[in-house]
Amino acid sequence: MKKKMKNQMRHKQKGIASIEFAVGFGAFFLLCITWIEIGYLAHVSAVTDVAIAEAAREARWLPLTTTDKGVHKVL
């Protein structure tokens, strides 16, 4: 009787390992993609900060001229 019950239990749980792997791998894959996306956003933010700082540094040293109406214009 015990042997028959064990066989039935094994038969019911035949595909459970593949289901657990699929769910676990899906969660791990999502975690890795999230980590990559956060790193990419940090990189874009840093590049943007450098570009803005360089543009401000360049704009500070541009020569200005005065027009007839007293408005400054960049050469």
Give CA–CA dist 46/73, Å, rounded. Answer: 31
Does the pLDDT value for residue 31 go beyond 70?
A: yes
Q: What value does the mean pLDDT take over residues 35-45?
A: 98
Question: Which residues are CB-neighbours of 63 under 8 A, at least 6 positions away?
Answer: 74, 75
Listed residue (17, 38, 36, 40) closest to 28, CA to CA: 36
Q: What value does the mean pLDDT take over residues 47-70?
A: 81
Q: What value does the mean pLDDT take over residues 1-15?
A: 68
Does the pLDDT value for residue 68 go beyond 70?
A: no
What are the helix (H) ranges across 1-75?
2-12, 16-60
